[in-house]
Amino acid sequence: MRSTRPREPTGNDARFAPVLRIAAFVLAALVLGLLVLFGAVWLESQRLKPPRDYFPEGALEAADEMRIGRLLAEMDEPVLAASDDDGQFALRMLYAPSWGDPVAVRYQATRDGALRRSVVLDDPATDTARQRIAVARETSVSSDELQNLRHRLEQSGFWHLPPTDEANIKDGYALLVEAVDGDRHWLLTRSAPNSQSSERGLDALVGLMADELNRDDETVLMRDADDWSP
């Protein structure tokens, strides 16, 4: 009958024991390092995540949703949502350059009429500041001006344009246009829409955006960028 006594350690066991201890230590260190890395990535994703959901699920690519949402949050912009109120109207335009200061303009109907809010994100005064400075300006607009804007938006074909296009433009800037009109809500993003705007069906919309973004005596959006590199 075979003995069930434990096997006595051999010379080979003693020789490989330090190697096994080192391998176990390396494995434990690797697991700990991966946990720290995953934790850091998760914390960074939470930091970059906008504090509120600005857009309906799937309306934008995940990267665009995070980037644009963070810009709107820094600008202290509200979420735009459709409702059953026929008098509700809001139009928001966000210019987000690869380099430079983002600019947004929002028109919104109010109980007393309408307002226009323009905001620029300026670089902080010190390198240690964690957030840019939002310089905002609000003015009242007449109902006629708001109605004209509503009409121009309708005539631009905005409500029938797809959320994105296939233009292969790697440099320049991104433009978000978002609007609610009663129970309608629509948004689109375009990279450098004033490049090849005719071919992309954006002439009328670019004209409207240029008028509004350049309204504060600054050239933010050029109407034709085909001969110009932003």
When pLDDT is averaged across residues 52-77 and rounded to a whole number, the result is 85
When pLDDT is averaged across residues 191-198 and rounded to a whole number, the result is 85
Residue type for 14, please?
Answer: A
Query: Quick check: is 155 in a domain?
Result: yes
Q: Within 49-171, where are the H helices?
A: 62-74, 143-155
Strand partners, 137: 118
Residues in contact with 223: Cβ distance below 8 Å, sequence separation at least 6, in sequence order: 194, 197, 206, 207, 210
pLDDT digits (tens, 9 = 90+) for 121-154: 886 555 555 567 788 889 999 989 999 999 999 9
Query: Quick check: is 166 in a domain?
Result: yes
Query: Quick check: is 6 in a domain?
Result: no
Q: Which domain holds residue 201?
A: 77-213
Please give the pLDDT value at position 197: 86
Please give the pLDDT value at position 184: 92
Q: Which residue in the block uniquely carries the two structure tokens 């309906």?
A: 56
Helix (H) or strand (E) holding 125: none
Query: Quick check: is 13 in a domain?
Result: no
Which CATH number do you get for residue 81? Answer: 3.30.1560.10
Q: How far apart are CA 59 and CA 150, in angstroms?
A: 22
Q: How far apart are CA 161 and CA 216, in angstroms?
A: 27
Query: Quick check: is 222 in a domain?
Result: no
CB 71 within 8 A of CB 94: yes
pLDDT over threshold 70, residue 47: no
Residues in contact with 83: Cβ distance below 8 Å, sequence separation at least 6, in sequence order: 180, 182, 183
% pLDDT > 90, the chain: 25
Please give the pLDDT value at position 228: 39
pLDDT over threshold 90, residue 107: yes
Query: Quick check: is 135 in a domain?
Result: yes
What does the block give as tokens for 2?
Answer: 């075979």
pTM here is 0.71
Query: Quick check: is 25 in a domain?
Result: no
Q: How many domains does the chain have?
A: 1
Please give the pLDDT value at position 227: 45
Query: Quick check: is 201 in a domain?
Result: yes
The confidence band for 108, taking pLDDT boundaries of 50, 70 and 90, is very high
